[in-house]
Amino acid sequence: MAGEPQDDCLFCRIVEGHVPATIVRETETTVAFRDINPQAPTHVLVIPKAHYPDAAALAAAEPTLAADVLREARSVADEDKLESYRIVFNTGAGAGQTVWHVHAHVLGGRGLQWPPG
């Protein structure tokens, strides 16, 4: 069920403390941790503690929680003293989503080309 922890979800297991992660920020509703395969000097994932499969599902069900994720993405960028940064939500396998728990990638600390990919 949407919003409920999923036993087979890597990010739910990180939220529960069952899988280690380098956590950089945590709030009542979100967790932010360093990506294990960073694509930039700053590459942090910001996730809601509640399980939603992608950004569209989160925004439809819990717009306030979606705003919490974006607010924390900014806080991550501020803490890493990034003047510019990118926030990416991959939605679907064709877009590169590999973990089916919504997460924002906060990328910065180097030039980021456009278009990506």
Residues marked active site are found at 103
Q: Look up tokens 């967790």; give the residue.
A: 31
CB distance 16 to 51 below 8 Å: no
Query: Which DSSP state fits 93?
Result: G
What span, in angstroms and rounded, lies between the C-alpha atoms of 69 and 73?
A: 6
Are 25 and 72 within 8 A, CB to CB? yes
Question: 55: closest CA among 108, 99, 115, 7?
Answer: 99
